[in-house]
Structure 1
């Protein structure tokens, strides 16, 4: 009998947020003072800085670190969360993301969506890291790059000029490699898991550590042979722009001490003290302050307002050059809208004075949806070892294991005839436009452009479904199926003047029936892999959803009540022409603002078949280069550059780590009563 408690345990740990608990500070040796990193307090923060970075997550810390390489450039990072130093024992061990998660604590924003009509009427949790390092401090550490096809499609959506070339595959790959130091797996791990990789596709001298776990389970080695037996080939070089097929992915883990490598541990902790880099934690950005317009008619930011609590006094710090917004897919549109930059109808309804009517802020929201198929396990799993409490289970190498056996599956593998699916998707465009949660012609045209690009992926070697093997629960093995290119788009928006009030998140899950059909086929493929040798020998009975869910209709009904986020929201401040509902141009500049940029996962206009950490690290590195070139900052001196260890044995300090990011918010008010009827009419196209 399938236990609801067991199901929740498996799903919670599999989706990387087990152990929701109240935060209680731990008074032990990990609680260190903040002065070594030049943290400042509300009373010691400076009056002005050259650059103010709104958000100390993945991208914010990368950019802060790079800009402050110039000792004559002053940088302030404002982060709403805490430093995370008091919770190192939860953050650092990679397996802690399953067994000692900070999700549900004060280190998590604890966002929830609105009730989703097509997902069982549920309000779904959207965990996001509220801590220095953002979600890279609490995520699953997957370091998976998108495909070259997807990145080039993004570049093709931009205005045709030299700036657009910045976001082509070659440049983004170079930027991702700049961020990382790759360490190959040990021979035992590589042999056990049958890992394939191309070392030349990775970086060798970056702050972020990228490698594989220090311990491996034999069942992981059954993954790629089972896929191949089912007709799905292996990806020999998934980091090189061709991630289609099965592979064991790299993770952001420091092999020198088997700790999480994330933006704080990689880009901030190893630095010598920099008096020009200040970080203020527990400081929520309430708005960007604007002064006069420049000669081009763009509003000039004069400072950033912040507060430590909803009832606390607000303080403004002046900016000399630029404000860089790095709050992620939820936080960045939230900051813009509370600053008066966003859809006029949303701002008017929230009581925020309009500075720039920019309809695309908060729109084009896309997210990966996922659902698990669970079997009893006949072999030892990571969850079994963890629950044993043995000395071996506590070893750093053992605790470095994170699920990372995945596969990206294209539409022809799922449906057989992907051209027919593309035809049906094309035929549904006119109807699906009615689900766009905006009356803006710009946003609607942007929806069409994103839709068209995603439609082309259906007949290309691009993953529509991600399959992911999980063995972190005791006595159970799971294969997750996750939608990678949703045709359903939603929005985020504010409904209050207070920046401390939750942002409203409406992803409009399954508003386009193609998403449900693609996920249905993904679940069927996950089951087929589980019934294919050698994986079949490791599995017992299917416990969830179970044999009673077998027909297409039953699977679709079950999916609507079972899906959850895969934690990859994006596109809410899309890098697109303004005529397509874009928020930033190819230089990351916000339309209508003279000196404000957004630089995080919110600018990706197209969903990737990937986890978002790797491309966001690349984007942040590129953003720092754009700013340096604009202000002609000098190159860093050798004495202040990163010098990562060439081998794991050269470091044993727990401060050299690295990983990924998140957040987002914004929208446009519109009546959606018609959407349900439109979706129903469209649904018959996809059965």
Structure 2
């Protein structure tokens, strides 16, 4: 006789095939367990935002929380944990290994965009930088209806997320590192500290910027972030190791019986009853069985600025015209989903320098071996820093004293619609008109950074901070295992390209300062003979890339100004769905985005709880 299973038994059998991580935070493997059929909260994405929200929600033992992560727990590999190897986890299994769509403004190139694919998300892969934007950066957000998201509205959440550790006395004295205790937290999950080792040519870099007019604020995390100043990293000072969202949040949650983590599992779509979200559909692969987990209270999207709009569209939340192309039933019209995508633009210029100790010494096996032995013995030396221990965030009048006002006027005079994607609805166009005006005004402000300049011992990385270009995240297929078509639209707006040209010229002035003379720089890339605007433009189009900071594709604020979610992070048009990750930022701030993601997630958790 053929046996049959009840619906509940079938669900239990299917769920037993998914990995639920055992309670021990140091477990090096996942343990097969039966998942419950429902949880109060289901969090989609186990990166910085998702793990933060889950940690706060699961603090209440009466609340059950499930985090679903497509990647796995890291095994604390050296390339994850050691600061001197930060960034080398890209291209591994902890990276989604996706690229933006081919971009005509980059001469047809498609550039890779590293996105975390593991428990901790991008905090496993990045360079660990914990800087913040300025008062002026976050003051822009309420003008798009994101009330309560200005500097004063976010500062409590920056503080709540961190345990700030001042620099070692010797490093603080040598590099004049100061801080403002009023803007820092001292008992939060993330260890936020200064590197115990600094490569010596950083002094040349600091003095060169000052020679060209850059100031040094008391604390760049205090809301005044223009100038050249010391930067902190998400680094545990006890052993100089990376403190990721996995170690800082998940490992603290893992001992709670009401907290579960499901790894190696894709959310293929959200389930719904009319316009009320009821749970998620999951699978471990394209041909694996699909099943549903119910959310008794809410589903919380934390899959990042590329995957969050992707999953929402697959679920029938978005522009009906796009959804119908892929035969996806519409459950809610939300035209802003996947619009307003922004990312910092990356450009490297390369100089040869003469200095006894640089990051280039790692290429010498004897130096690298000695440095690793020093790190393992006492957590100091060259491997104890992720570098970028000082950064320069510069206003337009320093980058281009002759042309900054002309660039402001040029941007202000543009038709706001000219460089937007044809799919942008009226609400997004209205919001972008405000954004463009704010970016234009920012060119004229000495307290708003337009460019970041990073030093890596002769490699000078410039990062465009407030791009005027806006991209999209669109469906490429109705198959959830096919990556979406994400277009960051790098350099789509010609003012972005002009500012990058002027930045190459600024970098050359910096390398020609008296401060740089002792290390005798020689330009290799693009080469000192590349001077004309047209030639510099081609160099930039052929080599510019991304800093891996996609934001804005489901931002909070006023729906009439292109927002996807309200100021409690609730998605417009549906019930029981919030979005809490980097996609919620209305306008990209002039900073590495990790600390802002943590702050937004802390704020979101508070909104959910209260």
Q: What TM-score does the superposition give when structure 2 sets the normalisation length?
A: 0.91
Paired with 2:107 and 2:230, the residues of 1 have a C-alpha distance of 33
Alignment CA distance shift 1:434-1:178 (3 Å) = closer
State the SS of the aligned residue for 1:270.
helix
- Deviations along 1:268-287, one digit per CA (max 9) or x if unpaired, are 21346111000000010111
Compute the displacement of 1:433 (Å).
3.0
1:397 and 2:380 equivalent? yes
1:198 to 180, 192, 197: 180
1:268 lines up with 2:250 in the alignment: yes
Name the structure 2 match of 1:348.
Answer: 324
1:177 and 1:203 in contact (8 A); partners too:
yes
The CA deviation at 1:604 is 0.4
Q: Which residue of 1 aligns with 2:9?
A: none
Change (3 A) 1:434 1:287: same
Q: Hey, what's the Cα distance between the residues in 1 that align with 2:254 and 2:400?
A: 55
Residue 341 (structure 2) aligns with:
365
Match for residue 91 of structure 1?
80
CA contact (8 A) 1:63 1:621 kept: yes
Hey, what's the Cα distance between the residues in 1 that align with 2:600 and 2:41?
18
- Specify every segment of 5 or more residues in structure 2 that has no aligned partner in the other structure, as ranges: 1-20
Contact kept in structure 1, 2:144 and 2:431, CA below 8 Å: no
- What secondary structure sits across from 1:429 in the alignment? coil
Deviation at 1:386, TM superposition (A): 5.8
1:598 to 579, 595, 608: 579
- Residue 359 of structure 2: aligned partner: 382
Q: Is residue 2:225 matched to residue 1:239?
A: no
Give how far 1:213 is off.
1.1
How far did 1:440 drift?
1.9
- Partners of 1:326 and 1:527 lie apart in 2 by 41
The answer for the alignment partner of 1:72 in structure 2 is: 62
Query: Which residue of the other structure, out of 192, 205, 208, is the alignment partner of 2:190?
Result: 208
**Whole-angstrom CA distance in 2 between matches of 1:364 and 1:589:** 18
Q: Within 5 A, what are the aligned runs for 1:47-446?
A: 47-84=37-74, 86-98=75-87, 101-158=88-145, 164-165=147-148, 167-271=149-253, 273-292=255-274, 299-379=275-355, 380-385=357-362, 387=364, 388-394=367-373, 395=375, 396-398=379-381, 399-404=383-388, 405-416=390-401, 418-430=404-416, 432-446=417-431
Checking the alignment, whether the CA contact within 8 Å between 1:74 and 1:276 is kept in structure 2 is yes
Three-state SS of the structure 2 residue aligned to 1:275 is coil
Query: Of 480, 502, 505, which residue of structure 2 is paired with 1:524?
Result: 505
CA deviation vs aligned residue, 1:601-646 (integer Å, no higher than 9, x gap): 10101011000001111011111111110xxxxxxxxxxxxxxxxx
| Residues 1:530 and 1:34: Cα distance change in structure 2 (over 3 Å) | farther
Equivalence for 2:467:
486
Structure 1's 600 and 558: CA in aligned 2 closer, same or farther, altered over 3 A?
same
Task: Give the Cα–Cα distance (whole angstroms) in 2 for the partners of residues 349 and 530 of structure 1.
Answer: 52
Distance 2:166 2:242 in 1: 16
> Is residue 373–residue 527 contact of structure 1 (8 Å, CA) maintained in 2?
no
Q: Is the 8 A contact 1:492 1:506 kept in 2?
A: yes
Range that drifts further, 382-391 or 250-259: 382-391
User: For residues 307 and 72 of structure 1, what CA distance do their matches in structure 2 show?
Assistant: 28
Distance 1:468 1:489, change over 3 A: same
- Tell whether the 8 Å contact from 1:346 to 1:495 is kept in structure 2 after alignment: no
Partner residue, 1:456:
441
8 Å Cα contact 1:126/1:565 also seen in 2: yes
Please say if residues 212 and 250 of structure 1, whose CA atoms lie closer than 8 Å, have aligned partners that are also in contact: yes
Asked whether the equivalents of residues 55 and 252 of structure 2 are also in contact (C-alpha less than 8 Å), the reply is no
Report deviation, 1:221.
2.0
Determine helix, strand or coil for the equivalent of 2:202.
Answer: helix
Q: CA RMSD in A?
A: 1.9
Deviation at 1:357, TM superposition (A): 1.7
8 Å CA contact 2:52, 2:598 repeated in 1: yes
For residues 602-681 of structure 1, the aligned pairs below 5 Å read 602-629=583-610
How far residue 429 of structure 1 moved from its aligned partner, in angstroms, is 2.5
Superposition pairs of residues 529-568 of structure 1, within 5 angstroms: 529-568=510-549
Offset from partner CA, 1:15-40 (integer Å, 9 cap, x none): xxxxxxxxxxxxxxxxxx84414997
State the Cα distance separating 1:577 from its structure 2 match.
1.5
How many angstroms apart in 2 are the aligned matches of 1:570 and 1:534? 36
Tell me if the contact between 1:469 and 1:478 (Cα under 8 Å) persists in the aligned partners. yes
**Structure 2 partner of 1:512:** 493
Alpha-carbon distance, 1:434 to partner: 4.9
Which is worse superposed, 237-246 or 34-43? 34-43
Question: TM-score scaled by structure 1?
Answer: 0.81
1:480 and 1:439, CA in 2 relative to 1: closer, same or farther beyond 3 A?
closer
CA drift of 1:538 comes to 1.8
Structure 1 pair 434–152 and aligned structure 2 pair: CA distance change class (3 A): closer
Q: 1:366 touches 1:486 (CA, 8 Å); kept in 2?
A: yes
